[in-house]
Amino acid sequence: MRTDPSDTGGLFISRRPGTAPIHYREQPQRAGELRQRVDSSLAGVLLSAMFAISLLCWGPIPLACLWIGSEVNYLTGSVFLGIIAAFAALFPLLFGALAMLTRLDEAWILVRRAAGYDQRSGARGRVFGATAAVCALVFVFWFVVIHGPGSGIVSGGGHA
């Protein structure tokens, strides 16, 4: 049998290592209905936490980093140091939030499986996309209606 990629034109003809079907000695037993309900509720809590952390990435974390940058600018009198401090705070906070999202997503998959669902993929991408869409709509509403051109509600708009 030819299995060397140079012999097969770079294509994997047979099954790749680690992709064989799982064979159990005996069929795994399902937990009781109460346990599955508890696991399903825990999955909902984990999904809510994922939404909350994802929302933090679109507003509070960047605003906190801007505040840190402005404080450094005020204390040192250097705009350059303020910008550096803001970015130095932004990257670990955002990547830390994304790492927490990844861990919560992996836990969510396991809890959904324990609740009796055939969960094979996570919800991290859908959660992040949904929060991006929600935050974009909120921003457009704020920009056009509340603060936008011609608005008489807030300063500068509607006065000649």
pLDDT digits (tens, 9 = 90+) for 137-149: 999 998 888 877 7
Please give the structure tokens belonging to residue 3.
């299995």
Total number of domains in the chain: 1
Residue 2 covered by a domain:
no
| Dist CA 23 CA 152 (whole Å) | 69
Residue 47 covered by a domain:
yes
Domain that holds residue 129: 34-145
Query: Taking the complete model, does pTM exceed 0.75, yes or no?
Result: no
Residue 3 covered by a domain:
no
Residue 94 covered by a domain:
yes
Half-sphere exposure at residue 51, Cβ-oriented, CA atoms within 13 angstroms: 11
**Taking the mean position of all CA atoms in its chain, how far away is CA 45?**
15
Instruction: Read off the pLDDT of residues 40-68 as tens digits, 9 standing for 90 and up.
Output: 899 999 999 999 999 999 989 999 999 99
DSSP letters for 124-142: HHHHHHHHHHHHHHHHHHI
Residue 85 covered by a domain:
yes
Residue 14 covered by a domain:
no
Residue 24 covered by a domain:
no
